[in-house]
């Protein structure tokens, strides 16, 4: 008898399963060479089928509409000089970023402090436990230490990347942050290459401590930096204010 999962290849190829089922099948694929081969075979064998299509003429305005829509969605980024200095890279020739609507902050520090703290506590527990006793279904993938860009040693932060089922979360905890003015906030960024994506914001308590949990929706992106800036408004598409803390992932 073949494993039950082997029967789901067609539905996997056609995307008729739920995300969870697909993820389960993908785990199966790692173990089942037969399914891997069949999937590759179906991909190859269907490769030419699109060419069966009868030529149809798109409407004349389509090209312009699409190009406009595409260019509209990207905005140039002006990264603050501090970030540049930190990253030690000069090539910002064609800075473009993605809109952040794909990303969403689950909980903003202060508003749901209870949950943030309990998650954060888990992180600490996990990372302090050398035996690697992980808390239930959350798996700590990696931990990034953020350091002050200006050499201020009293402030620091940690960003932990957790995997829970199919979701990835970043739990960020900052301590001893410099005071900010009324109306200012600390904005967190995940950065890949030249592209910063806003990963939530928080205002610290009177001791300069703050935390947030951010659901990472673009797990595939190869993030290289976590940074915290001071901003006047939340969720800008690119940092305007100065970078206070940053860490390489």
Partner 1 sequence: MVENNDAVLYERLAAKDKQAFETLYDRYEKLLFSFAFKITKDRGLAEEVMQDVFVKLWNGTHAFDSSKGKFSSWLLTITRNKAIDMIRKYAKHEHVELMDKDSLISDEKPVDKAVEWKEDREMIQSAVSKLNTEQQKVIDLFYFKGFSQQKISEKCGVPLGTVKGRIRLALKHLRETLEKGGRSDYEA
Which residues lie near Zn ion (CB under 5 A)? 6, 32, 35
Compute the distance between CA of residue 196 and CA of residue 92 in angstroms, rounded to an integer.
Answer: 12
Map the footprint of partner 1 across residues 71-90, applying CB under 8 A.
71, 73-74
Q: What is the DSSP letter of 116?
A: H
Residue 16 as a binder of partner 1 (CB under 8 A): the answer is yes
1 binds partner 1 (CB under 8 A): no
Q: What are phi and psi of 202, to 5 degrees?
A: -155, 160
Q: How far is CA 31 from CA 35, 43, 103, in A?
A: 9, 19, 32
CA distance 245 to 249: 13
16 binds, among Zn ion, partner 1, none (CB under 5 to 8 A by kind): partner 1
Q: How far apart are CA 198 and CA 228, in angstroms?
A: 10
The answer to whether 180 contacts partner 1 (rule: CB under 8 A) is no
Q: Which stretch binds partner 1 (CB under 8 A): 5-13, 105-113, 157-165, 196-204?
A: 5-13
CB-CB contact of 128 with 108 (8 Å):
no
19 in contact with partner 1 (CB under 8 A): no
Least Å distance between CB 100 and partner 1? 12
**Which residues form the interface with partner 1 (CB under 8 A)?**
7-11, 14-16, 38, 41-43, 45-59, 62-63, 65-67, 69-71, 73-74, 94, 96, 98-99, 102, 220
């Amino acid at each position: 008898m073949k494993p039950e999962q082997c029967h789901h290849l067609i539905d996997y190829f056609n995307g008729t399963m739920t995300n969870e089922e697909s993820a389960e099948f993908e785990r199966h694929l790692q173990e089942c060479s037969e399914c891997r081969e069949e999937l590759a075979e179906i991909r190859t064998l269907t490769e030419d089928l699109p060419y069966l299509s009868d030529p149809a003429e798109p409407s004349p305005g389509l090209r312009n509409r699409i190009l406009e829509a595409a260019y509209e969605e990207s905005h140039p980024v002006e990264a603050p000089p501090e970030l540049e200095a930190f990253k030690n890279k000069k090539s910002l020739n064609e800075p473009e970023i993605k809109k952040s609507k794909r990303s969403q902050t689950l909980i903003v520090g202060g508003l749901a402090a209870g949950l943030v703290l309990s998650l954060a506590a888990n992180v600490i527990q996990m990372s302090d436990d050398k035996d690697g006793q992980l808390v239930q279904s959350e798996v700590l993938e990696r931990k990034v230490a953020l350091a002050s860009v200006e050499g201020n040693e009293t402030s620091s932060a940690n960003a932990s990347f957790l995997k829970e089922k199919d979701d990835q979360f970043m739990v960020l905890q900052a301590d001893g942050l410099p005071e900010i003015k009324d109306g200012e906030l600390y904005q967190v960024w995940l950065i890949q290459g030249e592209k910063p994506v806003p990963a939530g914001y928080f205002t610290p308590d009177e001791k300069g401590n703050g935390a947030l949990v951010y659901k990472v929706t673009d797990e595939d992106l190869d993030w290289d930096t976590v940074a915290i800036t001071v901003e006047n408004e939340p969720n800008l598409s690119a940092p305007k204010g100065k970078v206070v803390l940053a860490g390489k992932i």
